[in-house]
Amino acid sequence: MKTFISLYFLLVALASYGQTNKAKLANEYYQNGEKEKAFLLYEELQKGNNNIPLIHSNYLSILLSGDDIRKTEKYLNRAIKYFPNNFFYKSNMVHYYDLTGQDDKKRKYLNGLQNQYSSSPYQLSVLAQNLGNQRLYSEAVELYLKARKLANQPTMNALELAAIYRLNSDISKMISEYLRYAESNPRNLAYIKNLFQSLLENEEEKTILEQKLIQKIQQNPNVTMYADLLIWLEVQRKNFYAAFIQARALDKRSDSGGNQTMQIGRLALQNDYWDDAIAIFEYLLKTYPDNYNGRQARKELIQAKENKAKSTFPVDRMLLRSLAAQYELIYREEGPNPTSLNALRNKALIHAFYLEELDTAIHTLNSIIENGRSPSTLIAQCKIDLGDVYLLDGQPWESTLLYSQVEKSNKESPLGFDAKLKNAKLNYYSGNFKLAKSHLDILKDATTREISNDAIAMSLLIKNNTAFDSSDYILKQFAHIQLLAFQNKTDSTIFLLDQLIKENLAHSIVDECYQELANIYLKEGKYDISVNALDQIIQNHADGILGDDALFQKATINDKYLDRKTDAIELYTQFLLQYPGSMYAADARKKLRLLRGDGLN
């Protein structure tokens, strides 16, 4: 008897093994496009109910592509009968009715499923997921919402619904669901910010989010999450003043002493939005005069005014002298501390680069370096600054000594990379392009984008202008001219640039020369002459690496200095059409909206 039973199970196992192999062969036929051979095997295999999971998807695909509707429905009914808990098979039946246009049957079947699982939100959600996987999006949404209502959980299935709405390009509902997900747990907020950053591609979509957030804030003024998201959104749009309005209100509600507002002010400062930064720091100084943020705002306010003055041409030297005195006052009132010593550093740089008082700058920087309360990072920064001042003074040997000290003591740090970049520029100015390029190639992978970009730009300059000039003579001339420009020897710089252009009209250095001229004339307040230089690049070198820079700068000059708003609108529009991938594209779009009166929403 035992032998008989053993033999029985062996035969069953062998039969099962044979069926599995046959199913594997049929599926291989299907994958290879031999669907007729696959169908013949599937027809035989489907008679055994246990084979259905092995062949279902491929067999159903062949049935749906055929004309025998009744056969397909019969097969699905049998699959569901023998596997009543398989939600995938049940969603296949909905898909079948949808595909064959049997809307009444589809609705009746779907209602039956809802009634069957009316006591289980989880099972309804699983069924909805299966429907969504078969692109039955409206049916999936219906079941997800039904499950949410049954569970009485307003945030249930939020991510799943958001994904479906995104596929259907229903941005408004997608945003609403992602906000629901953020509401379900504050820790989800960072994830949602990352999603919005990648998904919201245009201003119209961002405006939808803004409107929903404003509505949420009005309805739930004590929920800080919405204000946090709105601040984040405005920062993404570089609309720092709007972010400031929200941060100010959030600081008042949370009694944080201006922490949120200070962050926005610093972001505005870092992104060169001087007017916004000035307004924010003035508010902080007035509102929190006695706390840490108020005291920091005083120094940051002077910094913002200084940066604005230095980027407004011609530079107002009297204003900069006044700001230098304000930095000095901070140091005198507070005594030596990291903030006041840094203020003193800013004062020294004004004396060096704008007031041409090199001795004062050298003395001030040395006093910071020798001060026992100066942080090591500040000492390193001041050594780099001192190297720059010595270069201004025509003492490059002193400069390289200081740069090398910082590079050696701050390896693999932004300060060390900055010092290496300075040394690379010194080698460039002296015509040692091979050594300069070896340093620059290392700096291309620097930890800061600014240093990396500068290294890449200078490396390209050397590469592009030495490829067809084995003597490097012309680039050496240009490098020497750039050193004169750095040393503020304006008349000599202009004369030599004009001469270099006339003698080398066919050389690749010409666009670089015109860019240098445009910058010099802009700093002198000779706006039309600066535009003329830029036009030479725009008309003759638009496809070069300076093409987008020149067009954007021309638009900015027309907007900011010449008050030619109509011309600026045309130029920004041309820029966005011609250079949509430029690093200046976001700023160009914002300025264009402002000029057209679109606002920032």
Is residue 84 over pLDDT 60? yes
At 10 the pLDDT is: 36
Residue bearing tokens 């230095």 = 310
Percentage of residues in the chain having pLDDT higher than 70: 96
CA atoms within 13 A on the CB side of 387: 24
Is residue 204 over pLDDT 60? yes
At 594 the pLDDT is: 87
Give dist(CA 152, CA 466) in Å, integer.
71
The least confident of 118-127, 313-322, 466-475, 573-582 is: 466-475
Is residue 600 over pLDDT 80? no
Instruction: Count CB-CB contacts under 10 A for residue 210.
Output: 20
Give the mean model confidence (pLDDT) for residues 402-421: 95
pLDDT tens string 253-310: 989 999 999 999 999 999 999 999 999 999 999 999 999 999 999 999 999 999 999 9
396-400 long-range Cβ contacts below 8 angstroms, 24+ apart = 396/426, 396/429, 396/430, 399/426, 400/426
pLDDT tens string 13-48: 434 444 578 888 988 989 998 988 889 998 899 888
Q: What is the DSSP string of 225-253?
A: HHHHHHHHHHHHTT-HHHHHHHHHHHHHH
At 199 the pLDDT is: 93
Q: What is the DSSP string of 514-567?
A: HHHHHHHHHHTT-HHHHHHHHHHHHHH-TTSTTHHHHHHHHHHHHHHTS--HHH
At 19 the pLDDT is: 59
At 232 the pLDDT is: 97
Give the mean model confidence (pLDDT) for residues 112-138: 95
Q: Please give, one letter per residue, the 3-state secondary structure of 402-458.
A: HHHHHHHHCCCCHHHHHHHHHHHHHHHHCCCHHHHHHHHHHHCCCCCHHHHHHHHHH
Of the pLDDT bands very low, low, confident and very high (cuts 50, 70, 90), residue 486 is very high
Of the pLDDT bands very low, low, confident and very high (cuts 50, 70, 90), residue 483 is very high
User: Which of 370-404 are b and which e, b meaning 16 or more Cβ less than 10 Å from the residue's Cβ?
Assistant: eeeebeeebbbbbbbbbbbbbbbbeebebbbebbb
Give dist(CA 326, CA 152) in Å, integer.
61
At 68 the pLDDT is: 81
Is residue 4 over pLDDT 50? no
Query: Using an 8 Å Cβ cutoff, are 388 and 422 in contact?
Result: yes
Give dist(CA 491, CA 496) in Å, integer.
9
Give dist(CA 251, CA 217) in Å, integer.
14
Domains contained in the chain, CATH given: 477-596 (1.25.40.10)
pLDDT tens string 492-521: 999 999 999 999 998 999 999 999 999 999
At 17 the pLDDT is: 44
At 85 the pLDDT is: 92
Give dist(CA 575, CA 450) in Å, integer.
23
Is residue 12 over pLDDT 60? no
Is residue 444 over pLDDT 50? yes
46 φ/ψ angles, rounded to the nearest 5 degrees: -70, -15
Structure tokens, 85: 């808990």
Is residue 9 over pLDDT 50? no
Is residue 447 over pLDDT 80? no
At 593 the pLDDT is: 87
Over the chain, what is the mean pLDDT?
Answer: 92
Please report, in angstroms and rounded to a whole number, the separation of the first and last CA atoms in the chain.
Answer: 86
Is residue 5 over pLDDT 60? no
Check the CA dihedral 219-220-222-225 and report its sign: negative
pTM of the model: 0.80
Give the mean model confidence (pLDDT) for residues 66-79: 89
At 16 the pLDDT is: 44
The least confident of 69-73, 138-142, 484-488 is: 69-73
At 349 the pLDDT is: 98
Give the CA distances from residue 508 to residues 463, 549, 553, in Å, rounded to whole numbers and listed in that order: 11, 16, 20
